[in-house]
Amino acid sequence: MADVVEGLTNYEFGWKTTWLDNRLSFNGSVFRQDWEDFQFSILGANGLTEIKNANQARINGAEFSLAFAATYNLQLTAGAAFYDAELTENYCGFTDDDGNPVTECADPEAPEGTQLPVTPKMKGNLTARYTFDAAGGEAFLQGAVVHVGDRKSDLRLAEREILGDLDAYTTVDVSAGYRRNDWKVDVYVNNLFDERGELNRFTQCAESVCGAAGVVPEYPNGQVYTVVTQPRTIGVRFSQEF
């Protein structure tokens, strides 16, 4: 059986601009990606990862970034991305004699128009940093917010139903620091509100076995595991240049 290699054709238009005497920069791009025989991983027999080829997919997207020196001391940065990612042909779950994905079947595992897994429709971030002189050195205060939209856990509809969707989440990081001469010290709190953002969901073996209720005696209700963001983390960082 011949190997099927994925291919990607990307069409993109981008720009970089500056405004307000270079105090404001606005960059971005819009793009379309045509994905042929794209590859994705599944949990196959005996709990081993298998790489599968689906057929055609398409991603339309736009990404933007903004940096603004609001004052001499205050710097604002922001970014946003929007994606429309979906199959443009059926995924039937098997290939022909030449190894090419079959797209015509009575009951596709993922029909044309299915949203691709893991990719959110929207994500964004915002950071504010204030610097000022203090005691012969330079100090700063910073806050950052990151938002990730909801996502699909799997391409295949049956497995997606077992695993469930990945919910949207928002995290906040704050930090403060002081620098003088060749040393600096930072204090930070990552994930200030201890948000348990969902990054991934999985089962120990095939979802239809280990994730479905009543199939495996050890897991009468099925067992789906969720990987979450790092919990609230408080730390101090010291560094010195030599």
Distance CA 4, CA 1 (A): 9
Q: Please, how many CA atoms are within 13 Å of residue 115, restricted to the half-sphere of its CB? A: 14
* Residue 4: per-residue pLDDT: 62
Q: What is the pLDDT of residue 2?
A: 47
- Overall average pLDDT of the 114-132 stretch: 96
- Average pLDDT value for the chain: 91
Q: Beta strands 233-240 and 24-36: pairing type? A: unpaired
Q: Per-residue pLDDT averaged across 58-80, rounded?
A: 97
pLDDT computed for residue 218 by the predictor:
66
**Residue 149 CB neighbour total at 10 angstroms:** 17
- Residue 179: beta bridge partners? 138, 184
Q: Please tell me the distance from the alpha carbon of residue 76 to that of residue 26, in angstroms, as a whole number.
A: 12
The dihedral through the CA atoms of 194, 196, 197, 200 has a sign that is positive
Strands 49-53 and 137-148: unpaired
Lowest mean pLDDT among 1-10, 94-103, 148-157: 1-10
Handedness of CA 207, 221, 227, 151 (dihedral sign): positive
Q: What is the pLDDT of residue 1?
A: 43
How big is the CA angle at 210 (ends 206 and 215), to the nearest 5 degrees?
A: 115
Residue 215: predicted pLDDT: 67
Give residue-wise pLDDT tens across range 13-22. 999 999 999 9
pLDDT above 90: percentage of residues in the chain? 73
Name the amino acid, one letter, at 27: N
Who has greater pLDDT, 146 or 46? 146
Confidence bin at 232 (pLDDT 50/70/90)? very high
pLDDT at residue number 205: 84
The pLDDT score that the predictor gives to residue 3 is: 56
Q: How far is CA 171 from CA 57, 102, 142, 144, 192, in A?
A: 31, 41, 14, 8, 7
Structure tokens at 152: 């699909």
d(CA 42, CA 87): 17
User: 235 pLDDT exceeds 80?
Assistant: yes
130 vs 42, more confident: 130
Residue that wins the pLDDT comparison between 202 and 220: 202
Given this model, what pLDDT does residue 214 score? 64
Q: Mean pLDDT over residues 192-209, rounded?
A: 92
% of the chain with per-residue pLDDT over 70: 94
> Structure pTM?
0.89
